[in-house]
Structure 1
Amino acid sequence: MSDTLTDVPKRTPLYDLHVELGGKMVDFAGWEMPVQYPMGIMGEHKQCREKAGLFDVSHMGQVILKGDDIATQLEKIAPSAFTALKEGKARYTFFTNDQGGIMDDLIVSNAGDHFFVVVNASMRHQDIPHMAQHLEGIEVTEVFDRALVAVQGPAAENVVGALCPAARDMKFMETILADIMGVECRLSRLGYTGEDGYEISIPEDKAVAITRALLAHEDCEPAGLGARDSLRLEAGLCLYGNDIDTETTPVEAALTWAMQKRRREEGGFPGAARIQKQLTEGAARKLVGIKPIGRAPARQGVEVQSTEGETIGAITSGGFGPTVGGPVAMGYVAAGHSTPGETVNLIIRGKSQPAEVVALPFVTQNYKR
């Protein structure tokens, strides 16, 4: 029996703080997480785009890799160039299967004497045994005694910098060990909202104190899963299980930017033959932005048709984009219908609604390069 059936939902070290702050708790990937606070999803979304929002992402899997030649071993199971990943740098990547499908997406950081990996909450039961099985001679340890907090938004540098001056000097996708209120934390300048920001791995017993101190800043407010989803959707960022899964390849999902040139050419990772063929010949379908013309949002599973009424694809993520001021969606369409500006129809509750294929992202990403 899977532990998700027998276990009550798990709680992060910040659970009591969420309740105190009025968080509306829901079960998410086996964890009790706040979907929103009294400010509401729209308010939290706006807060993150204009100032800073704080998200509890402690449900994500934090993993330490130790041993010799970790980078070379990782290149056997993921199509990114880790041997070129300098100390203090992080990289977005994914594990591929033998068919070239995406098993999960993750962040890998070179921490010097070890590598630090963050995997999706819902896939940790797969990813950690996968690494343990395939990374020869590498010690794979999941860390359970640390919280993970994301501070995201244009004011994130001031919020985190007030407690940790070193944060101000970091650039996008950089990681350091930092002193925050006398506590050693892993600080990485990255996130999944399209805004500048940080993820902070904090020892469990200090998590509440540091989170309270971050929230004490006038520009920082707590934000939940609802705003996290609308922010990443506007930023054109894939959600595992919706926009990418074991059936979708990095070429179809427009994620080939995460496969550095050497890896694209050399291969040597699971599913390389299919992925390299698609790189050369193109894929039959593509992930695109889709903007409904009207007010009705298009949710996951909505059928996409050509103007002639032929089924050409489906929506994988969709909802209201507060910054855009209207509905936004992502989905796969046949390659011949993937050009921005093309008119398509969405079948919403049995009715055909016009929409337009648009370039992603909907909102410009504001990373500190």
Structure 2
Amino acid sequence: MAEQAHSDEPLLVTPLHAEHVALGARMVPFAGYDMPVQYPTGIMTEHNWTREHAGLFDVSHMGQALLVGPDHETTARALETLIPADIVNLKPGQQRYSQLLSEEGGILDDLMVTRSGDPAEDGKLVLVVNASMKEADYAHMQARLPANVKLVRSDDRALLAIQGPKAAEVMARLAPDTADMTFMAVKATKVAGLDVHLSRSGYTGEDGYEISVKAKDAVALWRALLADPEVKAIGLGARDSLRLEAGLCLYGHDIDTTTSPIEGGLIWSIQKRRREEGGFPGAARIQREIKDGAARVRVGLKPEGRAPAREGSIITTPDGREVGIVTSGGFGPTVNGPVAMGYVSKDVSAVGTDLHLVVRGKPIPAKVAAMPFAPHRYKR
């Protein structure tokens, strides 16, 4: 959650900035934007509200773009030279998670790729990338795409996410045709009379939707969603504690250029055809790690007691041998205790393994834990 902007650069704002300020949000620099970290009720209340009702997030700082080619096959194969997911066989009206890879198989960023359900849009793929990486991602892709596939930025769009067990009911009241969608399905529709593209997905482990809307309509959509008593605005603080309990990676922390998708526990995001055929950056390393296992892996960690182990805490065996590092950590309100993720040597990665996390110079006993820490509740 600690993507601080450089102090000498003016902060960017999303189309909803004035709405956050009016709600009394505490604003902080994040990935170059002035963003709400929490509202007056606080992170714990916002976290619990999202787990029990529906939380509304402004994620308009994320990068939205289109890849446009002559047909689906051409566009998909161009993208497959940069990422390890199977995009050729992505069905219309579906979304898939993947990673932009370096030649060494490290992760330059993670992203969502969507294929429209509209046959008229069939040469187009919609991409959503991380705010902190979008300029680098766009430059990386533009330098490597063939001449007949273009990257078109969608800087005129905002992105909202509604997450939680009541999200589907709220959406059904505003857009009845969203109710029967399943996890990772996408649709173009109207919400509160506004044209949107939405997916049934999110970053909290809960059921919910991510809604792309024209920037000029963002305030109207935000207000229409907040008008429902089940919905409250949620800041970046609770977004981080929710995704940590869900065992989801934050780019620049749990995954980065030094980690491969296999080390990161993301093998599920590489479909069988791509594992076998390769043809993406770093394929030799990734195929080797699939076959032989990676030397280190991302694991869940549950410290004893109430003190959280933060990012950067050293992980050791009980006898003091250094075996890894914490990449995300904090207090899990749903779990009612501290939770963390980090990388450890393969030999100490089994669930139940006893380890120590060094917090302020003091070793705290912990166990390797299964993830997610709070169960996923996606609509399958």
Q: TM-score, normalised by structure 1?
A: 0.98
User: Counterpart amino acid of 1:120?
Assistant: N
Which digits, 9 at most, give the CA deviation of each residue in 1:312-369, with x for residues without a partner?
0000000000000000000000000000101101111111110010111101100001
User: Counterpart amino acid of 1:229?
Assistant: D
Separation in 2 of the partners of 1:300 and 1:63? 31
State the match for 1:74 in structure 2. Answer: 79
CA drift of 1:6 comes to 5.3
Equivalent position to 2:95, from 87, 90, 96: 90
Equivalent position to 1:29, from 28, 31, 34: 31
Separation in 2 of the partners of 1:308 and 1:182? 62
Equivalent position to 2:64, from 52, 62, 65: 62
CA drift of 1:159 comes to 1.3
1:101 matched to 2:118: no
State the match for 2:355 in structure 1. Answer: 344
1:117 matched to 2:127: yes
State the match for 1:355 in structure 2. Answer: 366
State the match for 1:14 in structure 2. Answer: 16
Separation in 1 of the partners of 2:248 and 2:219? 29
Separation in 2 of the partners of 1:236 and 1:181? 33
Separation in 2 of the partners of 1:325 and 1:65? 43
Separation in 2 of the partners of 1:139 and 1:259? 24
Alignment of 1:256-267 (within 5 A): 256-267=267-278
CA drift of 1:5 comes to 6.4
State the match for 1:309 in structure 2. Answer: 320
SS at 2:179's partner residue? helix
Separation in 2 of the partners of 1:184 and 1:105? 27
Separation in 1 of the partners of 2:221 and 2:282? 43
CA drift of 1:178 comes to 0.7
Separation in 2 of the partners of 1:181 and 1:359? 40
CA drift of 1:51 comes to 0.6
CA drift of 1:87 comes to 1.0
State the match for 1:140 in structure 2. Answer: 151
State the match for 1:128 in structure 2. Answer: 138
State the match for 1:228 in structure 2. Answer: 239
Which digits, 9 at most, give the CA deviation of each residue in 1:105-161, with x for residues without a partner?
000000241111100000001111112122212111111111100000010101122
RMSD of Structure 2 on Structure 1 (CA): 1.1
Separation in 1 of the partners of 2:192 and 2:243? 30
User: Counterpart amino acid of 1:253?
Assistant: G
Which digits, 9 at most, give the CA deviation of each residue in 1:218-269, with x for residues without a partner?
1110000000000000000000000000000111100000000110111010
SS at 2:375's partner residue? coil
Separation in 2 of the partners of 1:90 and 1:162? 24
Separation in 2 of the partners of 1:329 and 1:6? 33
SS at 2:274's partner residue? helix
Separation in 2 of the partners of 1:5 and 1:262? 45
State the match for 1:270 in structure 2. Answer: 281
User: Counterpart amino acid of 2:179?
Assistant: R
1:214 matched to 2:225: yes
Poorly superposed stretches of 4+, deviation over 4 Å: 3-6
User: Counterpart amino acid of 1:8?
Assistant: P
Separation in 1 of the partners of 2:63 and 2:125? 14
SS at 2:356's partner residue? strand
CA drift of 1:182 comes to 2.4
Alignment of 1:37-56 (within 5 A): 37-56=39-58
How many residue pairs match? The answer is: 367
SS at 1:10's partner residue? coil
Separation in 2 of the partners of 1:52 and 1:280? 42
State the match for 1:299 in structure 2. Answer: 310
State the match for 1:250 in structure 2. Answer: 261
Identity %: 53
CA drift of 1:36 comes to 0.3
SS at 1:341's partner residue? coil
Q: Is contact 1:132-1:138 (8 Å) kept?
A: no
SS at 1:190's partner residue? coil
CA drift of 1:181 comes to 2.6
Which digits, 9 at most, give the CA deviation of each residue in 1:85-116, with x for residues without a partner?
01110000001111111110000000241111
CA drift of 1:214 comes to 0.3
CA drift of 1:7 comes to 3.5
CA drift of 1:65 comes to 1.2
Q: Unaligned 5+ residue runs, structure 1?
A: none
Separation in 2 of the partners of 1:72 and 1:6? 40
